[in-house]
Amino acid sequence: MLIDTYGRIATDLRVSLTDRCNLRCTYCMPEEGLQWLAKPELLTDDEIVRLVRIAVTDLGVTEVRFTGGEPLLRPGLVGIVEHCAALEPRPTLSLTTNGIGMARTAVALRNAGLDRVNVSLDTLRPDVFQTLTRRKRHADVLEGLHAAREAGLTPVKINSVLMHGINDDEAPELLSWALGHTYELRFIEQMPLDAQHGWRRENMVTAEEILEKLSARFALTAEEPSERGSAPAERWLVDGGPATVGVIASVTRPFCRACDRTRLTADGQVRNCLFTREESDLRTPLRSGAPDAEIAELWRAAMWGKKAGSGLDDPLFLQPQRPMSAIGG
Ligand code: SAM
Ligand code: SF4
């Protein structure tokens, strides 16, 4: 098991497949100048599958989510999914993506064993999308979402980050549109994980603000806390349900006490928290011929030292050196 000193057990593994991306969301990446990982630093497909196998068969991981950067940019993605789906016990497999290219690969991913996807979409307006992501790819994302649903990668969830003066007026439209398309919408508070270190607490659209905006158009009823488990999203029934909307209040209502995550970066470093500044290297032992048992032990040790919380409320909080795109969001 991956247990820490506070008794939390990590069963949910986030694997970053690449730090690269075809968008440049302003809350995530700068327009240019970000240094990419060099190819030899990246884990190979086989190395990723081996580490996932160790996590699943030796360390009790039951859920694996592929992310990045943009995971659909990884050429070997379908093969990685296929190998992970063949593991015993079979983990749940999901993908967090910006949706670009999904229209081409959704069926292949489903056939390979992918269970679900989360697609990021912050706006319904193509011009706002271009301002926010610095790319003209809005239609590709909508097409990707549609393809994911048609391929049965359901429930298709949408992640939205709101920013003041850009798309914060869109919360009700986004929800109404998502409900109409049977997508499950979740808003995420903006976190200090951008490569440019431009995040300011006072500029962030808070969960409270989001709920206020939604309540102007919809009747929201809080879901029973027992339904939440370790899920970071607090969910509300919309107009009596069964449809729901989620809010991930990572900053104002952190869920660290129930955290069940462990993370692997594209260059083979284990992180026990999104916000930690420490990483544990698995790539070097992996490439030096270490047996599975030794790698599993290093992974256990990395998780044992997990801190109680993200430290966001500490005035001395320092952003991690790596941005979200390199950690794997
Ligand atoms: N490229 C894929 C995507 O956009 O879904 C996967 C990686 S992205 C880093 C994962 C999620 O993190 C996305 O939903 C994105 O909106 C979110 N994200 C990125 N930077 C963020 C930030 N500073 N605060 C909150 N969420 C952020
Ligand atoms: Fe790319 Fe996702 Fe970051 Fe946007 S949020 S720049 S899509 S990695």
**Residues contacting 164, CB < 8 A, separation 6+:** 203, 205
188 Cβ below 6 A of ligand 2: no
Does residue 10 carry a pLDDT above 80? yes
Does residue 224 carry a pLDDT above 80? no
Q: Which of 159-173, 243-257, 287-301 is the least confident region? A: 243-257
21 Cβ below 6 A of ligand 2: yes
pLDDT tens, residue by residue, 277-313: 899 999 999 999 999 999 999 999 999 999 998 877 7
Q: Other CB atoms closer than 10 Å to residue 54's CB: what's the count?
A: 18
98 Cβ below 6 A of ligand 2: yes
Which domains, from first to last, does the chain contain? 12-327 (3.20.20.70)
d(CA 181, CA 168): 21
- Out of 77, 96, 133, 210, mutate this one to test ligand 1's pocket (max ligand atoms within 8 Å of CB): namely 96
Does residue 193 carry a pLDDT above 90? no
Q: Residue 119: in which H helix or E strand, if any? A: strand 116-120
118 Cβ below 6 A of ligand 2: no
DSSP type of residue 128: H
pLDDT tens, residue by residue, 61-94: 999 999 999 999 999 999 999 999 999 999 999 9
- The radius of gyration of the chain's CA atoms, rounded to the nearest angstrom, is 19
327 Cβ below 6 A of ligand 2: no
Does residue 229 carry a pLDDT above 70? no
Q: Can you tell me the mean pLDDT for 265-270?
A: 97
194 Cβ below 6 A of ligand 2: no
Question: Which pLDDT does position 232 carry in this prediction?
Answer: 78
- Measure 329 CA to ligand 1 centroid, in angstroms: 5
